Structure 1
Amino acid sequence: MSDCKVELIQKVDARLGETPLWDLARGVLWWIDIEQPTLWRLDPESGVTEAEAHPCTYLGSIAMTRSGGLLAARDLKLLHRAPKTSDWLPFATTPDEAMPATRLNDGRVDANGSLWIGTMDNGLTRGLGGLYRVDPDSTMTRMLDDVIVANGIAFAPDGRSMYFTDTRRHVTWRLGLDETGREITYREVLADYSSTGIRPDGACVDADGCLWQAFFAGGQVVRYAPDGRLDRQIALPVTNPTCLCFGGRDLKTLFVTTAFKFLSDEELAAEPLAGSVFAIEGAGQGVAENLFAL
């Protein structure tokens, strides 16, 4: 276990909080509520928050761009908002998939500036989803098939491997990438919880190449060493942590989003902070987010 300090930094009732991203240029945390489709902006130093509702069924994930704009995954479409504007413009549409069966979910940008993003079965049982690489010219290339719930996308600091999770298969993999960083060369199991029912969810990588991951319905975040050993566990005061990222001025604060989804009325009464955002100090040193090359 860990003696890291866990603090509440934003009290909010997010049904399915997700995709925290630290904006190093602005000194703010972006995150979303997927099922109450809202884009949140939090300044941890001042405590000022902004919320922007999105006209969709699911706001699956977000990404930051090199120009200072944002990408947003609405249902099965990617939209782009340029800096200093308020309009979201169409960027790409997921090929060969259709609502309401599937939607876009977790995503992260690689060192080349491409976005890797997954889709999922909205029924949470069928391998209808996939993993896509989205290039700056808006091309979406399907890289993996037979995914139930795509999650936990993160890239090793050297850019030669990435992590990918199927939450409803309870498995996290390490994927090898070729010298261009564009093609998958192998897939190996990092952690298999299929016998226990643990639900590995969102993830990020620290400066030492360790993988941090949230355990949905497990009440904790954990760290895997590069060799696959689970070497740290940090308990949270809520059942459903969803995703995490390093941020703050020195990238030494671990931000964690959470959810109240699936909690009973009795569980909600016992967890008044479910759906809030937390900050963990003393977890380690993070790395800056890669930015989409747009």
Structure 2
Amino acid sequence: MKNPVIEVAHRAAAQLGETPLWDARAQRLRWIDIEKPTLYSLDPETGATDATEQPGTYLGGIALTRSGGVLLARDLTLVTASADGTNARVLAVTPDETHPDTRLNDGRVDCHGQLWIGTMDNELHRSIGGLYRVDPDGTMTRHFSDVVVSNGIAFAPDGRRMWFTDTRRHLTWTITLDETGAPTSRGLLSDFTATADRPDGACVDADGCLWQAVFAGGRIIRYAPDGRIDREIALPVSNPTCLCFGGPDLKTLFVTTATKFLPPDVLAAEPLAGSVLAIQGLGQGLPEHLFDA
């Protein structure tokens, strides 16, 4: 299958661009740079981009809230804020059971208005992270432990399956959910241990296919609903991090990327590293669920 045309939605040199979300209310793409903690938003029609620096060391995740703002993961604290990242109020602090040398990383809201988000080891090799469900009142419930780098949270269109990745274990799981959104079982979707590929951020399209970025692998992949990898698309950068469908018709696949870990010679050869890429003709996405706050 011919590789599609890859365009540049926003040219930058993000250290760790991540977590793109399409905000249909504002018709803007929102994303973050984790390690230069900044919240960005883009109007694809005009190219206008806004940026709001955030306090703390890491900005590990973002979600949209029903009240019209955003939910931000700052280090180990979750805050609700205005859409531009200002006027923040603390919603929750990750429970004391969490190792102090961790941070929040990658989350997504389910169809019940709850946020699922994980923690990760700041040294990238210890299994000291976990996966949490966050209720609208700020209660955080730990569902899985023994995680190195929590990533790739996405939900099936019917809300009865969740995908979850541990990037540094090279594993992605399928988690079955009951009618309330609680996990009932977990099975392995993919194991890249043999190749050391790093599955990263993910999203799901309207056909129930799971799309995933492969960090340090220079490509994105698609899983068919039966779990087969049925498409791979090469990118002009080594480090894609996450992706989402957006645009007025949800038919543009936006891909965030990173310059992190790239030596000078690779950076020189990859002028688009750290930019937000855009690809047409790959399918149609689903609206993001809103956190009930």
Tell me the TM-score normalised to structure 1 length.
0.97
Query: What displacement does 1:233 show?
Result: 1.0
1:204 corresponds to 2:203: yes
Question: Contact 1:17/1:257 (CA < 8 Å) preserved in 2?
Answer: yes
Query: Residues 39 and 84 of structure 2 are in contact (CA less than 8 Å); yes or no, is this contact kept in structure 1?
Result: no
- For residues 95-244 of structure 1, the aligned pairs below 5 Å read 95=95, 96-99=97-100, 101-181=101-181, 183-244=182-243
Cα contact 2:52–2:84 (8 A) shared by 1: no
Matched, 1:52 2:91: no
User: How many angstroms does 1:84 deviate by?
Assistant: 8.3
Task: For 1:49 and 1:130, locate their aligned partners in 2 and report how far apart those are by CA, in whole Å.
Answer: 34
1:113 match: secondary structure: coil
- Deviation at residue 179 of structure 1 after TM alignment: 1.6
Distance in 2 (CA, whole Å) between partners of 1:56 and 1:231 is: 40
Gapped regions of structure 1 (runs ≥ 5): none
* Cα shift at 1:85: 8.4
1:272 — aligned with what? 271
The DSSP-based 3-state class of the residue aligned with 2:268 is helix
* C-alpha distance in structure 1 between counterparts of 2:84 and 2:255, whole Å: 27
**Aligned 8 A contact 1:129 1:149 in 2:** yes
Q: Could you tell me how far 1:3 is from its partner in structure 2?
A: 2.9
Aligned-partner residue type, residue 47 of structure 1: G
Which letter maps to 2:125?
T
How far apart in 1 are the matches of 2:85 and 2:37? 20
Q: Percent identity?
A: 65
Is the CA contact 1:224–1:232 (under 8 Å) kept in the aligned structure 2? yes
Amino acid in the other structure paired with 2:98 = E
Question: Aligned in 2, Cα 1:98/1:126: closer, same or farther, shift over 3 Å?
Answer: closer
For the aligned residue pairs, the C-alpha RMSD in angstroms reads: 1.1
Q: How many angstroms apart in 2 are the aligned matches of 1:277 and 1:58?
A: 19
Corresponding letter in the other structure for 1:258 = T
Give the whole-Å Cα distance in 1 for the aligned partners of 2:46 and 2:175.
39
CA contact (8 A) 2:209 2:224 kept: yes
CA–CA distance in structure 1, aligned partners of residues 227 and 91 of structure 2: 37
Mark the CA change 1:158 to 1:85 in structure 2 (over 3 Å): closer, same or farther.
closer
TM-score, with length taken from structure 2? 0.98
**Structure 1 position 174, deviation (Å):** 0.3
Pair 55,84 (structure 1): closer, same or farther in 2 beyond 3 Å: closer
1:278-289 to 2 correspondence within 5 Å? 278-289=277-288
Map Cα deviations across residues 213-250 of structure 1 (whole Å, 9 max, x no partner).
00000111110001111011111110000000000010
Pair 1:2–1:139, CA change in 2 (3 A): farther
Using the alignment, how far apart are the partners of 2:99 and 2:148 within structure 1? 15
Q: Secondary structure at the match of 1:159?
A: coil
Q: How many angstroms apart in 1 are the aligned matches of 2:174 and 2:49?
A: 35
Matched position secondary structure for 2:278: strand
Q: Distance in 1 between matches of 2:213 and 2:62?
A: 18
CA 83–217 in structure 1, closer or farther in 2 if over 3 Å, else same: closer
Q: CA deviation at 1:86?
A: 2.9
Question: Alpha carbons of 1:83 and 1:224: their partners in 2 closer, same or farther (altered >3 Å)?
Answer: closer
Which stretches in structure 2 are left out of the alignment for 5+ residues? none
